Structure 1
Amino acid sequence: MKKLSDTLGYYIFYAFAGVIACLPLTVLYLISDIAAFFVHRVVRYRLNIVRMNLRNSFPEKSDAELKSIENKFYRHLCDYGVELIKMTRISEKELDKRITIDNFDLFYEQLDKGKNIILLLGHYGNWDWLSTLERRFRPGVTLAAVYRPLKNPGIDELFIKARERFGTLNISKNNTLRAMIRIKQSKQPHVVAMVSDQTPSVNNLEYWTNFLHQDTPVLTGMDKIARQLDFSVYYIDCQVVKRGYYKATLSIIESDPASLEPYEICERFIRKVEQTIQRDPAFYLWSHKRWKHKREK
């Protein structure tokens, strides 16, 4: 029965998404404005979590400043939703107009040396649109994206197909290490994108640091894999230029990860995410339960 329900849900959502995705983004943003009002003011989606996260992250800001960030956040959250659906139909030409990377050639500083790359990013701006960069690489370079499967397998499949439209290789979070070993053994150049600022599971609270004024556990998988398999580690900083337009900037976190102490990559990464957020806080995923774990005394 559950499988039937998931299948029906998939086809209903697929049909709905297909119709919506055909609309131009100018129309989708009008829909997003309406949705933002209901999500924020009527449904009050995770409003207490958003307000708590903002208040704890920016104790120096006034109530008026926090309210302004909150309002912009819900608008962008709904923009992200329609942009995600649009990803199933958007053209490469449209994406290239809306996402710019000024220093894309920095990738080749390590790829040309025969090094694979782990590309780290946070839940900022539109991280899913950044997973469509495969076609911008030279022939022979593969972009892979590590993703966390959604609870509804039908909807999960829809967004896997959306990324695959642009040649991106999808890697389920649970298969990350095995996939990375295969990539290493293949001798073919890969860039593996990981959104790595989420909360670790309760069984993986290995490394803690101060992030946005709060005691915070950090995912450690990217640190271990990079040092074990000798992947260079990059960070991609996403900036929202204006509604629906993004500018990304690359930087190298470390080209010789085996030389670092354990968790140093985690620390460098979280500092870069912090800098991205502090530049313009509204475009971070504040509805996420980022600080649900507390360190044992």
Structure 2
Amino acid sequence: MLNKHKIEYYLFIFAGNLLSIFGFSSIRYSSQILAFIFFRILRIRRKVVITNLSKAFPELNPKAIKQLAQKNYRSAAISFLEIFNFKNFVKEEIHSLILPEGIEVVKSKLDEGKGLILLTAHIGNWELGAIAAGVYLNESIKVLIKKQKNPYVKNWLKDTRERFGNKQISVGIKSARELITVIRNNEMVGIVGDQRGPRTEGLRVEFFGQQTSTFIGTASIAIKTKCPVVVIFCIRQPNFKYKFVIEELNYKTELSNKEELIKSFNQMYMKKLESIIRKYPDQWLWMHDIWKY
């Protein structure tokens, strides 16, 4: 008898394969279908998206907000469907899909011998970005991931993410120690840093003019190890190819106390994230309830 997790997994695979059956080039069309279903019919997270966009862009009228929300659902659909084509990818296709511009910044920082944190966000196609960065650098990135509740989806994602050499580290009691070990071995850690932090214990920083809660783990590890941190985003272009947007995070290591250091680090990252979102507002995952605490 099929359990709930297996049913979810089969639906997940069926939907993804059906909508990407004609390959990568068909995604620009099938993504419109998927976005229409989720935005117009099922209305999954629609209220959250519209509320978030209204808070971030108060200068836009309701019609413009709705149009931006529709584009956002399509962007999310594109990223979702692209994942299903990863299993058929060869390295040459990654080279043709993503421009390596700026990747030398990452290489030069790794060459310093202090380890490296690659800090990204749910914008563009972050999954593809992690895979491509590892391919271009010919290095294994140790990617921090949240545990999936569905074991079948978890295994599928693990195989996809690790296909070209990257490795996963699951968030948990020992994950901070694992990440520090990776850094001290002069390896790279990949972290998605834009999740909302705890409602009561998270550190508050400003994001689009409003206070939001953030996690302190990444900043704490960077400050402890004094390793370089590079902010890296994989941004979709009008021709459906991608480019990296890469910039070093020159965080402070000397302030009066650790909490001030962490807050400075997180605020610096969120400022860079806000800047890139303002340039590509449809590509960030607005379904995340960033201001709820």
TM over 0.5: yes
Distance 1:241 1:18, change over 3 A: closer
Q: Secondary structure at the match of 1:208?
A: strand
- Looking at structure 2, the residues matched to 288 and 190 of structure 1 have their Cα atoms a distance apart, in angstroms, of 30
* Identical-residue share of aligned pairs (%): 25
- The one-letter code of the counterpart of 1:200 is G
- The residue that corresponds to 2:214 in the other structure is 218
- Looking at structure 1, the residues matched to 280 and 14 of structure 2 have their Cα atoms a distance apart, in angstroms, of 35
1:267 aligns with 2:262: no
TM-score, normalisation: structure 1: 0.88
Aligned 8 A contact 2:199 2:213 in 1: no
Distance 1:184 1:240, change over 3 A: closer
Which residue among 243, 247, 253 is the counterpart of 1:247?
243
Further displaced range: 260-269 or 272-281: 260-269
Distance 1:278 1:229, change over 3 A: same
- The residue that corresponds to 1:156 in the other structure is 154
- The residue that corresponds to 1:96 in the other structure is 95
Aligned 8 A contact 2:114 2:228 in 1: yes
Further displaced range: 54-63 or 195-204: 195-204
Further displaced range: 85-94 or 69-78: 85-94
- Looking at structure 1, the residues matched to 152 and 287 of structure 2 have their Cα atoms a distance apart, in angstroms, of 24
RMSD: 2.3
Deviations 1:99-142 (A, max 9, x none): 1231211123322221111111111111110110212214xx43
Aligned 8 A contact 2:134 2:164 in 1: yes
Aligned 8 A contact 1:226 1:257 in 2: no
Distance 1:81 1:217, change over 3 A: same
- The one-letter code of the counterpart of 2:207 is F
TM-score, normalisation: structure 2: 0.89
Further displaced range: 81-90 or 121-130: 81-90
Question: What are structure 2's unaligned runs of at least 5 residues?
Answer: 256-260
- Looking at structure 1, the residues matched to 70 and 212 of structure 2 have their Cα atoms a distance apart, in angstroms, of 25
Q: Secondary structure at the match of 2:142?
A: strand
- The residue that corresponds to 1:167 in the other structure is 165
1:55-74 to structure 2, matched below 5 A, reads 55-74=54-73
Distance 1:16 1:38, change over 3 A: closer
Aligned 8 A contact 1:238 1:276 in 2: no
1:1-297 to structure 2, matched below 5 A, reads 5-7=4-6, 9-10=8-9, 13-14=12-13, 17=16, 23-132=22-131, 133-138=133-138, 141-174=139-172, 175-185=174-184, 187=185, 189-202=186-199, 204-205=201-202, 207-242=203-238, 244-254=240-250, 258-259=253-254, 261-293=261-293
Q: Moved runs in structure 1, 4+ residues, more than 6 A?
A: none
Aligned 8 A contact 1:21 1:89 in 2: no
Question: What are structure 1's unaligned runs of at least 5 residues?
Answer: none
- The one-letter code of the counterpart of 2:159 is K
Aligned 8 A contact 2:146 2:170 in 1: yes
- Looking at structure 2, the residues matched to 289 and 170 of structure 1 have their Cα atoms a distance apart, in angstroms, of 25
Q: Secondary structure at the match of 1:166?
A: coil
- Looking at structure 1, the residues matched to 103 and 135 of structure 2 have their Cα atoms a distance apart, in angstroms, of 12
